[in-house]
Amino acid sequence: MSEAATKPLGSLRGQLLRWLLIPLLILVAIDAVSVYRNAVDVADLAYDRSLLASTRALAERVAIVGGKVVADVPYVALDSFETDTLGRIYYKVTGINGEFVSGYADLPALPPDVPRSDIYPALVRFYHASYRGEAVRIAALYQPVYDDTMRGIALIQVGESMDARLGLSRKILLDTLWRQAALVIAAALLAWIAVRFVLRPLMRLKTDVEARAPTDLSDFDAALVHKEMRPLVAAMNGYMARLQTLIAGQRRFIADASHQLRTPLTVLKTQAELALRENDPQAMRAIVESIAHTTDATVHLANRLLTLARTEHGAAEAEMKPVSLAACARRVGLELAPQAVRKQIDLSLEAAQDTDVCGNPLLLQELISNLVDNALRYTPPGGQVALRVTRDESAAAAAIVLEVEDSGAGIVPADRERVFAPFYRAAAAQQINPGGAGLGLAIVRDIALLHGAELALAEGCSGTGLKVTLRFPCS
């Protein structure tokens, strides 16, 4: 499992707030930049209009006198310009033939690629430049001049330092940031209150879970939480229902196992006490043999109980791998062949090739062993037990079929569903084998369920006995 998958999740409230506030902060930042740029554009427009007014006022003082372009710019006018614009003013007047007329001769010239401003009807161009170590904004206005002897166009340039513009821009930026910060804080507070309110039902559910007693597995009320959380509550209720079933099964199993083990243990204790009181060696030997027989039956019962417990809880589910069912059947046949020989039963095996299934080898061998052992126990001497493993290709999905057929008493149809319950024994089975535990078919059923196999009971092909059929999906 990857590190990301095992890393614990943080607070749900914190994640919700982050997913709400981080996009909000990004949008606010984008909006702040947009608002600031718009405000700066508006400020530039206002200052450019003021700068153009100063340029026009200066242009009105430019005339032709004695065949020369002259500019009558008193200092009072320049002081008025500076008072209006709150910045330092520089100007330059250039004559018809490009000669310097008045002002600051080193004021940066008009670049050739500056377009005319379409906002104003005048022939004015605005551009940025650097003059005397500071940034300036310059308006260049072409002004027609003429008298009776000559006419032409003079160039009037008025530059303004950027101090006032930058001050206004900073003020607009700070005002914008303060407003946006206040908006973010208000939104964060409202989001925190909203998230806390929305998560209140979930917190109540958490409190309810923590307050539950360990033995209380009743359902939670899904109506108390939001619609999106109801599937989670339904899953919790389903899980607790499965826990109830599991716990009930465990309690029933423990009670049944205790009941089943109590009888042979009591018999063992009684036999041991009789042996202690017996002085006749022959009688004592008979009692010891009876103790050995009872001990074997008790060990067999305990092993069956452990197998049933393991299969009911799916302990081998993680050990699944391809297994040859025919090979398992051969091993079981060889193990139980002496038992068949002792009862003079014809035990046969028919095994096809390519009979791999996905399963647990030990449990599959236990399943086959239980079926064959039951068949041998309930088949009279001289009978037949057939073990078959075939491959069925006739169905939509290929299957491996396991069949165990005997010529014994069989199971009546009314009992064929009940015999899979632990410790249940049909009347005929109790007569033939009084010492049985009634666990064999219960173990077979649980192992079959664990492997996804279909289990069915039917009469033998000759109309007598029992045929157990299991269909396993191919590996």
Q: DSSP string spanning 263-288?
A: HHHHHHHHHHHHHHH---HHHHHHHH
Burial of residue 136, with CB atoms counted within 10 A of its CB: 0-12 exposed, 13-18 middle, 19 or more buried: buried
What's the rounded Cα separation, in Å, for the pair 288 and 292? Answer: 6
Among residues 181, 182, 187, 175, the alpha carbon closest in space to that of 38 is found at 175
What's the rounded Cα separation, in Å, for the pair 381 and 391? Answer: 31
- Strands 100-103, 384-392: pairing is unpaired
| Spatial contact of 388 and 348, defined as CB atoms under 8 Å apart | no
- Coil, helix or strand for 221? coil
What's the rounded Cα separation, in Å, for the pair 75 and 239? Answer: 93
Q: What is the pLDDT of residue 1?
A: 45
Q: What is the pLDDT of residue 156?
A: 92
Q: What is the pLDDT of residue 84?
A: 47
CA 75 to chain centre: 78
Q: Look up residue 474 and give its DSSP letter.
A: B
Dmax (CA) for the chain in angstroms is: 165
Q: What is the pLDDT of residue 227?
A: 81
Q: What is the pLDDT of residue 418?
A: 76
What's the rounded Cα separation, in Å, for the pair 352 and 253? Answer: 38
- The token duo for 209 is 């879970």
Q: What is the pLDDT of residue 140?
A: 93
Task: Name residue 126's beta-bridge partners.
Answer: 139
Contacts of 357 (CB under 8 A, 6+ apart): 322, 323, 325, 364, 400, 451, 472, 473, 474, 475
Contacts of 224 (CB under 8 A, 6+ apart): 201, 204, 205
H-helix or E-strand spanning residue 368:
helix 361-377
CA 238 to chain centre: 20
- Coil, helix or strand for 445? helix
CATH architecture of the domain covering 29-170: 2-Layer Sandwich (3.30)
Per-residue pLDDT of the chain (475 residues; tens, 9 = 90+): 445 555 666 677 777 788 888 888 888 888 888 888 887 788 788 888 888 888 888 888 888 887 788 888 765 555 545 544 556 888 999 988 889 988 899 999 989 888 888 777 778 899 999 998 888 999 999 989 888 778 889 999 999 888 888 888 788 878 888 888 888 888 888 888 888 888 888 888 888 888 888 778 888 888 878 888 888 888 888 888 888 877 776 776 666 666 556 656 777 778 788 777 777 788 778 878 777 877 876 776 676 666 666 665 555 454 778 889 999 999 988 988 888 898 899 999 888 887 888 888 888 888 898 889 888 888 888 899 999 999 887 766 778 899 999 888 777 777 777 777 766 566 555 555 555 556 677 778 888 888 888 888 888 777 788 899 999 988 6
| Spatial contact of 340 and 385, defined as CB atoms under 8 Å apart | yes
- pTM above threshold 0.85: no
Residue showing tokens 């539950």: 212
Among residues 197, 192, 244, 179, the alpha carbon closest in space to that of 218 is found at 244
Burial of residue 124, with CB atoms counted within 10 A of its CB: 0-12 exposed, 13-18 middle, 19 or more buried: buried
Q: Which amino acid is at 54?
A: S
Range 419-425 contact pairs with CB under 8 angstroms and sequence separation of 24 or more: 419/457, 420/444, 420/445, 422/253, 422/256, 422/308, 423/256, 423/260
Among residues 267, 250, 401, the alpha carbon closest in space to that of 329 is found at 401
Among residues 124, 134, 116, 147, the alpha carbon closest in space to that of 58 is found at 124
- Strands 124-131, 346-351: pairing is unpaired
- Give, in order, the Cα–Cα distances in Å from 292 to each of 80, 276, 287, 339, 437: 128, 15, 9, 18, 18
Q: What is the pLDDT of residue 277?
A: 78
Among residues 374, 352, 362, 334, the alpha carbon closest in space to that of 447 is found at 362
- Tell me, yes or no, if the two domains 29-170 and 317-473 fold the same way: no
H-helix or E-strand spanning residue 84:
helix 75-85
What's the rounded Cα separation, in Å, for the pair 16 and 44? Answer: 42
- Coil, helix or strand for 157? strand
The residue ranges of every structural domain in the chain are 29-170, 212-313, 317-473
In this structure, which topology does domain 212-313 adopt according to CATH? Helix Hairpins (1.10.287)
Q: What is the pLDDT of residue 157?
A: 92
Count helices and strands in the chain by DSSP H and E runs: 11, 14
What's the rounded Cα separation, in Å, for the pair 271 and 269? Answer: 5
In this structure, which topology does domain 317-473 adopt according to CATH? Heat Shock Protein 90 (3.30.565)
